[in-house]
Each structure stands twice: as structure tokens, then as C-alpha cells.
Amino acid sequence: MGKTVAEKIFDVHLVDNPAGDMCVLGLDEVFCHEITTPVAINDLVRRGKDRVFDASRIKAVIDHVSPAKDSKTALQGKILRDWARRHNIENFFDIGRNGVCHALFPEHGFVRPGYTIIMGDSHTCTYGAFGAFAAGVGTTDLEVGILKGVCAFRRPGTIKIEITGSLPEGVYAKDVILSIIGRLGVSGATDRVIEFAGPVVEKMSMESRMTLCNMAVEAGGTSGICYPDMTTVDYLRPFIKDEFNTRREAMDYYSRFLPDQDAGYEKSLEIDVSALAPQVTYGYKPDNVTPVSEMEGTPVDQVYIGSCTNGRIEDLRVAADVLSGRRISDSLRGIVSPATPGAYRKAMEEGIIETFMDAGFCVANPTCGACLGMSCGVIAEGEVCASTTNRNFYGRMGKGGMVHLMSPATAAATAVAGHITNSSLYKDQNPE
């Protein structure tokens, strides 16, 4: 039987097979942020093992709370910063160069097809958009990754999801992944890799593929994976110019991480998205998903556009399109946080920041902040946030608050309307 993408990547990276289906893999990259890494660093120091396996393969960023909001978060940043300096970790993104990890690291070309990547962050699965095996891990796994450059995984089964048809107007990768999570359930892909394939994915930009893979973990998935193709090569082109003379050459090399025709899947699904409507979550679990029309009119206190799911330039463009020439409702406040300095700069150049400001949005700097209820837009008890993020857990954006997950288009339309609404309502209307 042929092999899946994950199986091919496992074969190339296998270091040890300690028992049964447990595989210890060599790691191409270990990514770090200031929330989960300091405890690993402190523990390594305590054990007298303050070493790194390869400083050039470690990347670090301060992103969750940036700039620091209090002494504790300042200390977390300091521990990471001091450690990066001590070990000559060149790719350390301090305040000013920093952005949300899963948007920032791909932008710098650190993610390549066939790579193995871990990070102490559950949405590490985002990088699968490039055909990498990328998994979120806990601090101990991260600690061992930093020290030894290895991580243990059970050989995962793969679920293949073929996305067919074509996306209707106003429907985006976020709506697709929400509907998939609704279908699989929050543990439907536990310990599994999800391969996203089919014509709809082939047409998607890298940004959209990242949105898709980002939420694989909300169905329990270890990693979401899209197949490397010319879109991937073109995105990576500036970073791989010295490695490959032509695009074709790069593609030929990356092709070895494509699945075999007869790969063994645990489950294969086909989803036709031609009739898919914009989706939104309604409860405290990401699989509580329903069409926006079902939630139409639900009052909202805050709209948040940003995060590793939907804070990229493409997302800002989509939201700005809806907001252009309009003002957000007086009944709510809007916050946008471009996920990276690169996205921020582009948004500025394209006049998108101006559109947001004219509409009455607060433009925050790149940070996770509100997404996990730590800073820059925490909501009050009993408040409701319409958000382009990926988690609606009880208390996620602030104790006692409710989060409705949605696409940037839906979030922008909701900001204008003052309640949850479909972006297509704004499509053909001229702004007043």
C-alpha cells in the first residue's frame, strides 16, 4: 500500500522506534513563544541542561502579550530574550519585529514542504499548509525539542478530505473549515492528520490554506496538511532561490512529499462547497457550527479581526472591502490586529488601515492579545465578541464572555450592522 504525506515525512525523519507505533522524529524546526517556552528554559537550567540542539533551527517570538502588559509578562519576554541571546538564536523576533507566530514564521520562509516542526502551541498545525508535518506540543516536548531536536509521535492515521465544487461569493476558507469541524466534531480527528485536497484547495492562496490547516486541531487533528504545488513554490520562491534554479526544480523536489495514489487513508470524505453558506459558531465548542443566517440579529459588543487564523493581509483585504465607505455600529467596538508587521505594512500601503480607522476600528499592533483573553481587547462578563479567531471556549476572550467564530467578511459585516449578519447583505449596496 502507498503512503500518505505524514507517512512519507515520518520515513525521512525517523530516528528511533522505541515501541510499537511510537516514532521518535528528528526535527527540522523548533518554534518558541514567550508563554510556553520560559518554563521549559527554566527547567533546562534547573536540570543543568541549558543547551540547544541547533541554534539555527530554533526560531523564537514574543507574540501572545506584546508589548508586555505587566511585570509577569515582561518577565516571560525577558526569559525568552535572555535565552535567545545566550544561545545566539539569530531568529528571535522581539517587540517591533514580532507578530503572531503562525503568521510570522511562514512569512519569513521558515516553513517548507516535508519539514517536521514542533512548537508549544496547539495551532502549530497551521504550517501543514506548506505540506509540512507540524504539531503543537506541550512544554516538556518543547524542552526536549530544544535540547535534542527530536520529538515522539504515534504514527498517525490520516483522514483525507477532498474539497470539491467552487466557493460561492462571500464564502471563504474559514467557512469551509468551520463546516468541516461541525461535521467531524471536536474529537473527530484526534491523533489523526487531515489531508485537505481537491480543486478548491488547489485554487486557494497560501493564506487561505493556512486558515484551513490552522483549525485542524479544533477537530482534534495533529496536523492539517495541504499538498505542495506551484502556489507553495511561488510563495517560498524568495527564500529558496539559492537552493533551486527554477520553480520546476523546486516542485520536483517537493513532489516526494506528495501522497501515493494508493495511500492508505483511515477515512476519506468528499465535501462539495458549491452551496456552502457563511458559517458561525454559537456555543462554547468549535463544532457548534451553524450558517450565519441562523444567528442573524444576535447582538454583539465587540468585533475582533486578527489572530493566526484570520489576521493575514488577505483577511484584512476581505474585511476592508466590506467596511469601505461605511462606519461600524455605535452599539459595538471594533478591534483589528494585523497578525504581522508585514501584514500591517502592506495594509498601510494599500489604504486598508485607513479604511479600518475611517470605519471606527481600533487598530492594534500585531499580537495574540484578545484571542486568548490576555490583553488588547479582553471582553467583560456577559459580553459577546464576534471574532475571526479559532476558539470559542467558555471564558476564552474574557471570563464569562461569549465568542462567535466567523470569517473576516462576516465579522466586518457584523461590525457595520451591530449584530451578527451575512456579509452578502452589504455586497451590492452602496454605502451611505
Partner 1 sequence: MRNFGGKALFLDRSDINTDEIIPAKYLTEVSKEALGPHLLEDLSLEGFDPKEDIKGKQVIVSRSNFGCGSSREHAPWALEVNGIHMVIAESFARIFRQNMFNCGMLAIELPSESIDRIFNEFLSPEASVYADLEKSVLKISGREGKEAEIAFLISEFDRALVEAGGWVEYADANY
Residues that bind partner 1 (CB under 8 A): 15-16, 18-20, 22, 24, 35-36, 38-39, 42-43, 47, 49, 64-65, 70, 72-73, 75-76, 79, 120-122, 124, 136-141, 143-144, 147-148, 150, 152, 186-187, 190-191, 220, 222, 284-285, 372-374, 391, 393-396, 399
328 belongs to the binding site for ligand SF4 (CB under 6 A) = no
Question: Binding partner of residue 421 among partner 1, ligand SF4, none, CB under 5 to 8 Å per kind?
Answer: none
Q: What cell numbers appear for 212 in the block?
A: 484551513
Using CB under 6 A as the binding criterion, the count of chain residues that bind ligand SF4 stands at: 13
336 belongs to the binding site for ligand SF4 (CB under 6 A) = no
Closer to ligand SF4 by CB, 157 or 334: give it.
Answer: 334
405 belongs to the binding site for ligand SF4 (CB under 6 A) = no
Q: From CA 282, how far away is CA 297, in angstroms rounded?
A: 13
Q: Least CB distance from residue 367 to ligand SF4, whole Å?
A: 8
100 belongs to the binding site for ligand SF4 (CB under 6 A) = yes
Q: From CA 375, how far away is CA 372, in angstroms rounded?
A: 8
409 belongs to the binding site for ligand SF4 (CB under 6 A) = no
Question: Binding partner of residue 390 among partner 1, ligand SF4, none, CB under 5 to 8 Å per kind?
Answer: ligand SF4
Question: Binding partner of residue 126 among partner 1, ligand SF4, none, CB under 5 to 8 Å per kind?
Answer: none
Q: Residue 386: phi, psi to the nearest 5? A: -90, 120
Question: Binding partner of residue 152 among ligand SF4, partner 1, none, CB under 5 to 8 Å per kind?
Answer: partner 1
Q: Residue 424: phi, psi to the nearest 5? A: -65, -20
Cβ neighbourhood burial of 408 (10 Å; 0-12, 13-18, 19+)? buried
Contact 274, 175 (CB under 8 A): no
Which stretch in 42-50, 97-105, 166-174, 176-184 sits in contact with ligand SF4 by CB under 6 A?
A: 97-105
Q: From CA 183, how far away is CA 288, in angstroms rounded?
A: 10
Q: How far is CA 58 from CA 53, 172, 178, 365, in A?
A: 9, 33, 32, 24
Q: From CA 8, how far away is CA 129, in angstroms rounded?
A: 16
Q: How far is CA 27 from CA 90, 100, 212, in A?
A: 18, 22, 23
Q: Least CB distance from residue 278 to partner 1, whole Å?
A: 24
> Which helix (H) or strand (E) covers residue 223, if one does?
strand 223-226
SS3 category, 337? strand
Question: Binding partner of residue 238 among ligand SF4, partner 1, none, CB under 5 to 8 Å per kind?
Answer: none
The answer to whether the bond into 106 is cis (omega within 30° of 0) is no
Q: Least CB distance from residue 343 to ligand SF4, whole Å?
A: 13
Interaction mask 41-70, ligand SF4, x per CB under 6 A:
-----------------------x------
The residue written with cell numbers 537550567 in the block is 45
Residues that bind ligand SF4 (CB under 6 A): 64, 100-102, 121, 123, 307-308, 368, 371-372, 389-390
